[in-house]
Amino acid sequence: MAETVIAVRGLRNQFGSLVVHDGLDLDVHRGEILGVVGGSGTGKSVLLRSIAGLNRPAAGSVTMLGLDMGAASEAELAALGQRIGVMFQDGALFSSLTVRENVEVPLRSVPGLDAQTREALARLKISLSGLPWNAGDKYPSELSGGMRKRAGLARALALDPEIVFLDEPTAGLDPIGAAAFDALIRDLSRNLGLTVFLVTHDLDTLYAVCDRIAVIAEKKVLVTGTLDDMLDVDHPWVRDYFLGPRGRAARDAVESAPANG
C-alpha cells in the first residue's frame, strides 16, 4: 500500500464567523499527483496553506512526512520546511531580485552553502524548470506569465523537496503554455519521485497529470478517487464539473489523443 506522506484529520479553518473547513480528512500518498478541485471559495488555497504550515488551523491535525505539525517545535517545522516547496498562483517572486536570486532565497537557509554553489544549484533548478539559460539574469517583470510560473516552480524545487504544493499553476496561461506546464509537472514528478499537491480549476490539467482527485465541497473533502471514479459521483457540483460540457471536452481530448508512454 502506498505510503501516506500527508494525513489531515478533522481539520477546521475559520476566519471570524466564516467556517471554511470543518472535519476535513485527507490522505496524500508518496509519489502521486493529487488534484484538488472545488467551487470558487470552497477553501482550496486555505487547505494548501494550512497543510504547508502557512496558515494555522483552528482545530484538527496535519501530519506531514511523519511530523504532527501542531505539536512540532519551531526547529522541527523549519526542518520540515526544507523538505517541501510551494509555488503560489502568481509565482510570488521578489520583483527587485533576478530569477536566479529569487531561486537562491530558499537556498540561503541551508548552512554551509557558499555563494558559488548556491548560484550553480539555482541555475540547475532554473533549467530543470524549462527556462532558457539566460532567464536567471532577468527580473520577473522581464518575463512572460508562463516564464514567471516556471521561475516560481524553480524556486519551489530549490531545496530538492519531497512534496511540492502548486496553487493553480496553469491559471492565466494560454492552452499551449498550460499543456507545456502540465507536461513539465508530470515529468518532474515521475523523474524525481515528487509528491504533488495541485490546486486547480483546469480540467485539462486533471486529465493530463493527476493520479487522483480530491473534491472540496460542504467544508470537507467530499470524495477522493480517480477521474473515472468522479464520473460516478452523485453530487450536483461533481456532476456539473466533470460531466458538463468542459468536462466532456477534456475527457474527449484525452481519449482521442495518441497514447504516450
Q: Which one among 10, 41, 70, 175 touches ligand ATP, defined by CB under 6 A?
A: 41
Question: Nearer Cβ to ligand ATP, position 55 or 61?
Answer: 55
Residues 1-30 that bind ligand ATP (CB under 6 A): 15, 20
- Site stretch for ligand ATP (CB under 6 A), options 36-44, 69-77, 219-227, 234-242: 36-44
For residues 42 to 81, the per-residue mask of contacts with ligand ATP, x marking binding by CB under 6 A and - elsewhere, is: xxxxx-----------------------------------
Least Å distance, CB 40 to ligand ATP, is 4
Distance CA 236, CA 202 (A): 18
Least Å distance, CB 18 to ligand ATP, is 6
CA distances from 237 to 199, 218, 225, 234, 252 (A): 17, 10, 16, 9, 20
CA distances from 120 to 95, 115, 138, 158 (A): 21, 9, 16, 11
As separate numbers, helices (DSSP H) first and strands (DSSP E) second, the chain gives: 10, 10
Pairing status of strand 195-199 against strand 163-167: parallel
Angle at 53 between CA 25 and CA 85, to 5 degrees: 105
DSSP character at residue 142: G
Count other C-beta atoms under 10 Å from residue 9's C-beta. Answer: 13
Question: Nearer Cβ to ligand ATP, position 9 or 56?
Answer: 56
- Site stretch for ligand ATP (CB under 6 A), options 25-33, 40-48, 61-69, 114-122: 40-48
Question: Nearer Cβ to ligand ATP, position 188 or 216?
Answer: 216
Is position 98 an interface residue for ligand ATP (rule: CB under 6 A)? no
Q: Which residues bind ligand ATP (CB under 6 A)?
A: 15, 20, 38, 40-46
